C-alpha cells in the first residue's frame, strides 16, 4: 500500500531521514519505534505531504505524494503528535470541521461524524467544549478528527504521550478496532510495550534509518540466543569508565555492558554458563554483588544492542 524509496530529508547539517526504504502492506498495524530525534515525525510529515522531500519517493497505492498530493492526502488520516483541536467549539463541531475539509456533506457527514465520535468513546461528550476535556480526551478527539473521512491509511504520531492509563487503553483498543474494520495503521511510539501490544510488524528507526524490520517474533529471533545479566553491586558504579566495566567489555563472553542507574546490564554470548568469571572480574575491582538476575532480553535490548542507546532518554 505504501512504498517509501530512498527517502532523504536534511535540515542544514542534520540528516533527519537518511535514504530510508519502507513498505507497508494493506491491513497492517505497523509500529514505528525510535528514540527522540530518530526521524519518525519527519518521515510522517513527508508521507502526509506536510514537508517537502529532498530526494526519494513516497507512493500510496502506486500514486506519488509529490506528483498527486491532493489525491494521496485524501486517503490519509494524520493524528499529529501535538493536539490540534479547536478548544472553543464543541467536540462534534471539531470533527465536522475536519470531515468537511475532505468534502463530506449532509447525511454522509452526519454518519461519519457519529461513527468517529463513537469509535473514540466521546459520543456522550460530543456537545462539550474540548477546553473542558482531560488531555486524554483531547487526544481521542484528535483521533476522531483524523478518521472521520475514513482514510485507508491512518498515521498516529505518539498518540499516547502524557495521557492517563484509561485514555491510553482506549486509544490502543480503538487502533485494534480500526484495523479489524479494514484500516491500515502506522503507529509511532517510544514505548515498546504499546507497539508490542498492537503492531503486526515493527520497524525500528535510528538516526534517520530503519535499522530493524519484522514481526516481533522475527525481531526477537535476532536476540534469542543472547542472555541478559543484571547485577546490582553494593558499592555502586558511577560511570561507564569504571575499570570493571572496561575489563568486562574486553572479555570474550560479554557482548555488551551498560550502566543503568546503580545496576550493570551485561549481554552475554549464547550458552554462557560460567558466571564466576564475571564475579571474579567484579571482585578484582572491589565490587561486591548484592543481586543477580539472568533473563532473555526484550526488544528494548535489541535496540540497545543495535544502537548503544535506550529507546527513551
Ligand X SMILES: Nc1ncnc2c1ncn2[C@@H]1O[C@H](COP(=O)(O)OP(=O)(O)OP(=O)(O)O)[C@@H](O)[C@H]1O
In angstroms, what is the minimal distance from the CB of 188 to ligand X? 7
Rounded CA-CA distance 66/72 in Å is: 9
In angstroms, what is the minimal distance from the CB of 33 to ligand X? 10
Are 209 and 18 within 8 A, CB to CB? yes
Q: Which is nearer to ligand X, 37 or 56 (CB)?
A: 37
Sign of the alpha-carbon torsion through 108, 113, 119, 124: negative
Rounded CA-CA distance 222/119 in Å is: 37
Binding site for ligand X (CB under 6 A): 11, 14, 16, 34, 36-42
In angstroms, what is the minimal distance from the CB of 66 to ligand X? 19
Q: Which is nearer to ligand X, 55 or 225 (CB)?
A: 55
Q: Which is nearer to ligand X, 274 or 312 (CB)?
A: 312
Rounded CA-CA distance 282/264 in Å is: 11
Residue 100 grid cell? 468537511
In angstroms, what is the minimal distance from the CB of 36 to ligand X? 4
Q: Which is nearer to ligand X, 45 or 94 (CB)?
A: 45
In angstroms, what is the minimal distance from the CB of 139 to ligand X? 15
Q: Which is nearer to ligand X, 140 or 190 (CB)?
A: 190
Rounded CA-CA distance 75/52 in Å is: 18
| Cell 516481533 sits on residue | 216
Rounded CA-CA distance 296/220 in Å is: 10
Q: Which is nearer to ligand X, 42 or 307 (CB)?
A: 42
In angstroms, what is the minimal distance from the CB of 265 to ligand X? 23
Q: Where are the beta strands (DSSP E) in the chain?
A: 2-11, 14-24, 29-33, 55-60, 63-64, 76-79, 153-157, 184-189, 201-206, 209-214, 227-233, 254-260, 263-268, 289-295
Amino acid at each position: 500500500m505504501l512504498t517509501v524509496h530512498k527517502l532523504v530529508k536534511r535540515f542544514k547539517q542534520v540528516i533527519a531521514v537518511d535514504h530510508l526504504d519502507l513498505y507497508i502492506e494493506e491491513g497492517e498495524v505497523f509500529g514505528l519505534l525510535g528514540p527522540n530525534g530518530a526521524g519518525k515525525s519527519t518521515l510522517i510529515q513527508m508521507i502526509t505531504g506536510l514537508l517537502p522531500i529532498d530526494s526519494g519517493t513516497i507512493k500510496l497505492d502506486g500514486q506519488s505524494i509529490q506528483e498527486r498530493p491532493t489525491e494521496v492526502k485524501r486517503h490519509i488520516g494524520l493524528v499529529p503528535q501535538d493536539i490540534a483541536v479547536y478548544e472553543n467549539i464543541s467536540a462534534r463541531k471539531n470533527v465536522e470541521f475536519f470531515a468537511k475539509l475532505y468534502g463530506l456533506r449532509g447525511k454522509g457527514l452526519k454518519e461519519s461524524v457519529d461513527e468517529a465520535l463513537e469509535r473514540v468513546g466521546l459520543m456522550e461528550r460530543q456537545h462539550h467544549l474540548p477546553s473542558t476535556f482531560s488531555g486524554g480526551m483531547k487526544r481521542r478527539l484528535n483521533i476522531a478528527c483524523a478518521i472521520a473521512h475514513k482514510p485507508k491509511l491512518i498515521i498516529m504520531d505518539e498518540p499516547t504521550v502524557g495521557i492517563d492509563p484509561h485514555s491510553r487503553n482506549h486509544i490502543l483498543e480503538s487502533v485494534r478496532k480500526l484495523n479489524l474494520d479494514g484500516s491500515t495503521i502506522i503507529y509511532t511510539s517510544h514505548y515498546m510495550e504499546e507497539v508490542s501490544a498492537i503492531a503486526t510488524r515493527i520497524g525500528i528507526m535510528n538516526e534517520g534509518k530503519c535499522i530493524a524490520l519484522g514481526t516481533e517474533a522475527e525481531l526477537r529471533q535476532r536476540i534469542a540466543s543472547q542472555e541478559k545479566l543484571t547485577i546490582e553491586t553494593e558499592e555502586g558504579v558511577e560511570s561507564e569508565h569504571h575499570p570493571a566495566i572496561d575489563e568486562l567489555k574486553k572479555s570474550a563472553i560479554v557482548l555488551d555492558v551498560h550502566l543503568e542507574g546503580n545496576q550493570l546490564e551485561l549481554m552475554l554470548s549464547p550458552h554462557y554458563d560460567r558466571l564466576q568469571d564475571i564475579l571474579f572480574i567484579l571482585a578484582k575491582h572491589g565490587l561486591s554483588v548484592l543481586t543477580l538476575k539472568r533473563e532473555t532480553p526484550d526488544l528494548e535490548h535489541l535496540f540497545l544492542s543495535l544502537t548503544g542507546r535506550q529507546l527513551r532518554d
